[in-house]
Amino acid sequence: MKHLTGRHGDTGTRRIGSSAVSSLRISASLRLRVLFLTLPLALAVNFSAGAQTGKRSGAHSSIPRDNFSAADRSAVEKAIGTACAERIRDPLGSTPIDEMQARPSLSATNPDAIAGARRADRLLPVTRKLVAEAIVQLSKDYGLYDAPASRARVNSASARVQGVKRIRPNVDARDNASVLLRDPRVIEFGTIFLAGLKSDEAMVSVLGHELTHVASGQSDLLRPLFRAIARRAASRINLTISGQRAEELACDLVGLLATRQFIDQAPSWEPPPRRIARAVEHNCVDDDGSDEDHLSPRNTIRALFALDVTLARELLATETQSSSRTRNSLTARGTAF
Ligand SMILES: [Zn+2]
């Protein structure tokens, strides 16, 4: 996931030779970053959809015309404010990543870190399932599941998440999470980050992000999907989203959709808007910086809500309205291109 000055994440290029340098830059950053470490050298190999591919912006011009309206744009902006206000009111609101970064390291025996690790362990199995489903559903939504070759690629990617079996707390990882790409059975999770995600919803969101990196893997199986998602978001919020930023945003989107399904499947007395907000609250930063691999945290929320305006509107709904709704599938949202 992302945490780099507010986010988390992997990094830009796929140049193995420079990966050690990349990993140092990563650990200095605020966002949650996924480091792909190649063992046994402990080199961080950063995967970038864009670095490999270069620019192919015109390659997929068959996407239907977008119909993102001014009202949609307004709903997105309101939803950002609502989510971040809810974070302050919610006893289980997440700590923003800029606050996490400013904190001293947290011992693995810290009660909040222990609670976070237990939460992550408990939620990993259900999140694996939700992520696998979300990847398939998104691929269908974006027209990337029709051809047999595309379908095989997506199914292969979604199956990969089942290989992730453990969470490993790590003091030095601080506010980052990472996976070992060559052997992705473990998600390494900084103790500050574990302690800062206080709700199940926030944890599912972050685990979903990490698992999506695993799904795409070393062969970039999900690169077409990442690029399609980035293109749509870019057009809706008028930002350039290329290279690693595309993958990071797409991983966040999968995490958000997994959380939304989790909310439906794990009923609670809590208002659904509060629960939805938790999926993005770690991005409610004051220090809204970006880097080459990530949108800024607040632009990340903006892009996510622009990609799923229905979900943004659910966040704005009253408790009564939203709690009475049942969502049957991921397709219920974001059908407009
Ligand atoms: Zn990431």
Secondary structure letter of residue 286 according to DSSP: S
CA distance 214 to 159: 10
Comparing CA positions, the residue from 3, 198, 166, 231 lying closest to residue 93 is 198
pLDDT value, residue 51: 35
Q: Which of 233, 223, 60, 194 is nearest to 115 (CA)?
A: 194
pLDDT at 234 over 70: yes
DSSP states along 156-209: HHHHHGGG--EEEEESTTTT-EEE-TTSTTEEEEEHHHHHH--SHHHHHHHHHH
Distance of CA 251 from the midpoint of ligand 1 (Å): 7
Provide the whole-model pTM: 0.80
Q: Pick from 288, 284, 335: which is nearest to 308 by CA? A: 335
32-41, 91-100, 127-136, 309-318 — which is least confidently predicted?
32-41
Q: How many angstroms from the chain centroid is the CA of residue 184? A: 17
Q: Are 241 and 50 in contact, with CB atoms under 8 Å apart?
A: no
Half-sphere exposure of 189 (CA within 13 A, CB side): 30
Distance between Cα 325 and ligand 1 center (Å) = 31
Ligand 1: distance of its center to the CA of 91 in Å? 26
| Cα-to-centroid distance, 263 and ligand 1 (Å) | 22
Q: Say how many Å lie between the CA of residue 31 and the centre of ligand 1.
A: 9
| Interatomic CA distance for residues 154 and 139, integer angstroms | 7
Q: What is the CA(248)–ligand 1 centre distance, in A? A: 5
Tens digit of pLDDT for each residue in 237-256? 999 999 999 999 999 999 99
Q: Of 208, 220, 211, 214, whose CA–CA distance to 244 is shortest?
A: 220
Pinpoint the alpha helices (H) of the chain.
19-27, 49-53, 70-89, 97-102, 111-141, 148-160, 191-196, 200-216, 223-237, 244-265, 272-277, 297-307, 309-316, 319-323
Q: How far is the CA of 294 from the centre of ligand 1 (A)?
A: 9
**Rounded to an integer, what distance in angstroms lies between the CA atom of residue 281 and that of residue 297?**
10
Structural tokens at position 125 = 């199995």
What single letter denotes the amino acid at residue 108? Answer: A
Q: What percent of the chain has pLDDT over 90?
A: 71
Which phi and psi (to 5°) does residue 68 adopt? -75, 120
Please choose, from the candidates 57, 65, 221, the residue with its C-alpha nearest in 3D space to the C-alpha of residue 152: 221
H helix or E strand, kind and range, residue 38: strand 37-38
Other Cβ atoms less than 10 A from the Cβ of 302: the count is 24
User: How many angstroms is it from 213 CA to the middle of ligand 1?
Assistant: 7
CB contact set of 24 (below 8 Å; sequence gap of 6+): none
Taking the CA atoms of 312, 317, 322 and 326 in sequence, report the sign of the dihedral they define.
negative
CB 124 within 8 A of CB 258: no
- What digits encode the pLDDT tens for the residues 12-42? 222 222 222 233 233 333 344 444 433 333 3
Query: Ligand 1 centroid to 170 CA: how many Å?
Result: 17
Strand-pair category, 166-170 with 37-38: unpaired
Choice between 317 and 83, residue whose per-residue pLDDT is larger = 83
What's the CA gap between 29 and 171, in Å, rounded? 15
Share the mean pLDDT of the chain: 81
**Residues comprising the chain, all counted:** 337
CA of 123 to the centre of ligand 1 (A): 18
* 59 pLDDT more than 80: no
Distance 58 CA to ligand 1 centre (A): 25
Q: 327 or 133: which carries more pLDDT confidence? A: 133
Per-residue pLDDT of 163-172, as tens digits, reads 999 999 999 9
Give me the half-sphere count of Cα atoms (radius 13 Å) on the Cβ side of residue 178. Answer: 32
What stretch of H or E contains 5?
none
Average pLDDT over residues 126-131: 98
For residue 31, the cross-strand partners are: 3
Token pair, residue 264, equals 């439906």
